[in-house]
Amino acid sequence: MKISTEIINKTVASIQELDTCSMEMARQRLDSLTKPRGSLGLLEDIAVKLAGICRGVPVSEPKTVIVLAGDHGIAGEGVSAYPQEVTCQMMRNFLSGGAAINVLARLTGAHVAVVDMGVLEEIEPHENLYIYRVRKGTGNIANGPAMTREEAAAALEAGIEVAGKEIKKGCSVIAVGEMGIGNTSASSAILSVLTGYKVERVIGVGTGVNQEVLQKKITLVNQAVNVNLPNPNDPIDVLSKVGGLEIGGMVGVILGAAAAGVPVIVDGFVSGAAAMLAIEMAPLCSEYLFFSHLSAEAGHRVMLDWLKKEPFLHLNMRLGEGTGAVLAFPIIDAAVKIFQEMATFREAGISSGTEGGLDPETEAQVFNEFWKRRF
């Protein structure tokens, strides 16, 4: 597929395969720590994957959650339990520190960056706010495309730029979250188009609508797919026809972070739709992603199965904002701390038993080389 702009094309081309040499050295170090091999399960797998992403010793500090916001024309059809002005109101809540994402970010030591991708009402400038405003909300996808292809590309570029700015500030791990009344409708449409599954199978209650509204939502999303006929083999076409500005921004963040060798923690259903589009554009970026939790949104299990990904947590959450992704930060931190701080059998003077561990000379040689690998 031809990428529509030079910036996007360059970003996609910059994404590399994980560094298998660093991953192998990480596995050897983990196998020499004072534990049975593989006994820390997923924590060990995370440390190995991080080593491949970092191309050296895995790190997890500093941490940033990027919350991207945009309004959706389909919200005017009453597909949400909340009015459209809540998007803007919640952005102000994020910036004042009063939302769930702020509470959890403070708990986990993460910085919160908010991005206005296209909210209907203008937001006052703030030190933690990026303003892009590609357009004032999307069109009503039930009647026509969400945006033009050029606007979709601009949303992608905005996300790439935001990721680059946060990484330049020193960020080592990024979590993505979102805010946008009506965005589960757009995400359901994206999921249906990319998987070929019927809308009825992948759609959910979003903000908590009742069954009557859910049936209306199903009808409207079906209508959106049938009216716009997005091409499942062209992710930018899918984004422009049935997506959202904040979804496009998240796609850009994922691509930009992967190109820079920085891991991304994906939140729930809506950010998962962005991850699907990013992977369709650049399959290698899949290796840079961690999936934080299984959302209570009906289509999220379908989405994760299609992606062949397993989330860390099952907490029956469906808030969005990046809340699930931020709750995964301590798991990432734990993997890094185990890797960096746990003693080897040799260091602790403990017999490694029948499982072995490296002999002292090989251990010293491998680890001395590995700790130098900070690219």
Residue-wise pLDDT for 1-36, tens only, equals 444 589 999 999 999 999 999 999 999 999 999 999
Does 316 reside within a domain? yes
Task: Looking at the structure, tell me whether residues 73 and 41 fall in a common domain.
Answer: no
Residue 169, domain CATH: 3.40.50.10210
Does 2 reside within a domain? no
Radius of gyration of the chain (CA): 21
Task: Looking at the structure, tell me whether residues 294 and 362 fall in a common domain.
Answer: no
Model pLDDT, residue 370:
64
Task: Looking at the structure, tell me whether residues 301 and 249 fall in a common domain.
Answer: yes
Task: Looking at the structure, tell me whether residues 285 and 347 fall in a common domain.
Answer: no
How far is residue 311 CA from its own chain's centroid? Answer: 12
Query: What is the DSSP code (8-state) at residue 287?
Result: G
Task: Looking at the structure, tell me whether residues 260 and 213 fall in a common domain.
Answer: yes
Q: What are phi and psi of 67, to 5 degrees?
A: -105, 115
Domain that holds residue 299: 63-332
Task: Looking at the structure, tell me whether residues 211 and 185 fall in a common domain.
Answer: yes
Model pLDDT, residue 4:
55
Does a cis peptide bond (omega within 30 degrees of 0) precede residue 230?
Answer: no
How far, in Å, CA of 368 to CA of 375, rounded?
Answer: 15
Task: Looking at the structure, tell me whether residues 180 and 36 fall in a common domain.
Answer: no
Task: Looking at the structure, tell me whether residues 78 and 119 fall in a common domain.
Answer: yes
Catalogue the active-site residues: 321
Residue of higher predicted confidence among 2 and 40: 40
Does 247 reside within a domain? yes
- Residue 256, Cβ neighbours under 10 Å: how many? 31
Does 227 reside within a domain? yes
Model pLDDT, residue 372:
60
Q: What is the pTM of this model?
A: 0.94
Task: Please choose, from the candidates 111, 134, 119, 107, the residue with its C-alpha nearest in 3D space to the C-alpha of residue 251.
Answer: 134
Task: Looking at the structure, tell me whether residues 47 and 85 fall in a common domain.
Answer: no
Does 201 reside within a domain? yes
Task: Looking at the structure, tell me whether residues 195 and 296 fall in a common domain.
Answer: yes
Number of domains composing the chain: 2
Q: What is the pLDDT of residues 220-272, one digit of tens each?
A: 999 999 999 999 999 999 999 999 999 999 999 999 999 999 999 999 999 99
Task: Looking at the structure, tell me whether residues 361 and 214 fall in a common domain.
Answer: no
Task: Looking at the structure, tell me whether residues 120 and 215 fall in a common domain.
Answer: yes
Does 11 reside within a domain? no
Does 7 reside within a domain? no
Residue 348, domain CATH: 1.10.1610
Does 4 reside within a domain? no
